[in-house]
Structure 1
């Protein structure tokens, strides 16, 4: 494997990808899976639910959409639409290239903006972004922490 990937071997990459597919295939919540190009990387997105409020969930380091299904199930059951994103450079179904950001946190903000713009129309609050970056103002809450979740109606 190339030194710029999260995976130590092709076999390791395939093991993680197979596990993710098995988890998603076995998830009893109706959902769609898409791949979008954002920030120069292929990004895997899982969409579930149809509520008036959308939750964009970005798993933390070493996690992915498939590992976040219990949370997504609860959010869909509560009446929310959920987008689960696999972060490029982390184990999952997005690009395994870990050098895309070149150590810049601004890359992740731009990546998140692009993924949201491509997967859902309307506006959403974006943590750590300029106050005027969202127009019109989101009708929800913005949460951020070790695991990033954006909750907004759009």
Structure 2
């Protein structure tokens, strides 16, 4: 799914720079003592999108949920999102990082999979969820206020895991 609203007072350069700074600050670091295991040996680039894949955690009343998410940190990646994708694993998703100062809207154009669109407020907590967004729909779904990020998961996954507004998201 792609991001639809553009130019809400921010230039593409500022978005890309801010997103890159956020990723650098939140990327996992592995100590020299850590050695090699399944977690550190995992690929860091998605084979279909070519986007960086990073860990993301949602802390809910039901527990801590870990995901491997693609980072849509450029205007081009944000426009494309998960369009044309026919598969998304239960612990996979995509994060769209923002500066936490503007509201965002998304649509499902050219997106064959139902998605849960999770809007993360400036405080790092979920502000609202558009659950099971309808594939191919041109109807926009909106954040409730400004967002630090928008997380897309497979449709129904939020309810399945008990993820709700107020839960903490970290990437």
TM-score bracket for the superposition, by shorter chain length:
0.3 to 0.5
Q: Tell me the TM-score normalised to structure 1 length.
A: 0.33
Higher strand share: 2
